[in-house]
Amino acid sequence: MNRHVAIIGCGHVGADVAFSLVTQNLVDHLSLFDIKDAKAASEQLELQDMAAHIGSRVHIDHNDEQQLSCADIVIMAVGPSKTETSNRLRELAETSASVATWAPKLQAAGFDGVLINITNPCDVITMSLARRLALPEGRVFGTGTSLDSARMKRVVGKLLDVDPASVDGYVLGEHGESQFVAWSSVRVGGLSFSQWPQAETADCAQMEADIRRGGWDVLSGKGWTSFGIATAAAKLVDAVFSDAHRVYAVSAIDQRFGVHIGQPALIGRCGVIRTIPIPLPAAEAEKYAASATVIATAFQKIC
């Protein structure tokens, strides 16, 4: 199997996704695209400079739109010219216009694979791409709250003094300000979070705020965020290529609300196999519905 991935957008995120795919031996053919040809070319060259030090051989090209016709997975990673706010919805006007230029190119190339969207606001852009490309349901999905769920595991793991990998559970809703921790889903060692002694004195509201602003804390310090989301995207690529049938919190269509929104979903060769609507208590269900409304309202601005 020739695992072919195209990455559209070679900024910090796109470049780190490329690095992750190559160093983790998750791709055989990598096509890079950027509006700045020199940027895509330089990323190609630097990745090729690693060839003698990695355990696989990867064919890499750049800005060759013919490659879109044979890519198995396209990763949309275009970003705004400048990010100065933690509210991702403020990026919508610029990023939706950028993404809109690529949908016709993908259609003209006859792209018929899986598209994973990273571009923010993730849920709204994913909706836009799904409607523009009109691929079978599940083929277009976003990274959604996969990174936010990882941040939750970090925060909970620190509180309980356990490895984050031992924490199960989800952040649901928009990859943005209206997201929330579904505390009812959080489990460690088979116990619900509320059963751990530390939970009795934990400030869950503050923990949730720390999780929500995690990306902003990174961005305000170093100027961008990329390691976490690149790793999340690489995991999703691996799940598609290996037909893993693994569950991730991604931005997938919720037919009840008619929006793409962060929720658990089973990921395999054709993208989202099915979503997994976990039962939520009334208060969390209200937060989920409110977040869906935020996404729907934002989407109307670009319709």
Residue 197, class by beta-carbon neighbours within 10 Å (0-12 exposed, 13-18 middle, 19+ buried)?
exposed
Task: Choose between 86 and 69: higher pLDDT.
Answer: 69
HSE-CB of 285 using CA atoms within 13 angstroms: 7
Mean pLDDT of 194-204: 95
State yes or no: is 175 an active-site residue: yes
Catalytic residue among 4, 12, 175, 260: 175
Q: Which residues contact 208 (CB under 8 A, 6 or more apart)?
A: 180, 181
Single-letter code of the amino acid located at 282: A
Question: Residue 217: what pLDDT?
Answer: 75
Mean pLDDT of 84-110: 84
Question: Residue 83: what pLDDT?
Answer: 57
- Burial of 33-46, coded b for 16+ CB within 10 Å and e otherwise, reads bbeeeebbbbbbee
Provide the β-strand partners of residue 26: none
Q: What are the pLDDT digits (tens) for 23-52?
A: 999 999 999 999 999 999 999 999 999 988
CA distance 215 to 210: 9
Single-letter code of the amino acid located at 299: F
Residue 84, pLDDT > 60, answer no
Question: Residue 87: what pLDDT?
Answer: 59
- pTM for this structure? 0.95
Question: Residue 71: what pLDDT?
Answer: 98
pLDDT band at 56 (very low <50, low <70, confident <90, very high): confident
Residue 107, pLDDT > 70, answer yes
CA distance 62 to 82: 24
Question: Residue 82: what pLDDT?
Answer: 62
Q: Which token pair is 216? A: 């902003």
pLDDT over 90, % of the chain: 86
Q: What are the pLDDT digits (tens) for 226-273?
A: 899 999 999 999 999 999 999 999 999 999 999 999 999 999 999 999
Query: What domains sit in the chain, N to C, each tagged with a CATH number?
Result: 4-142 (3.40.50.720), 146-300 (3.90.110.10)
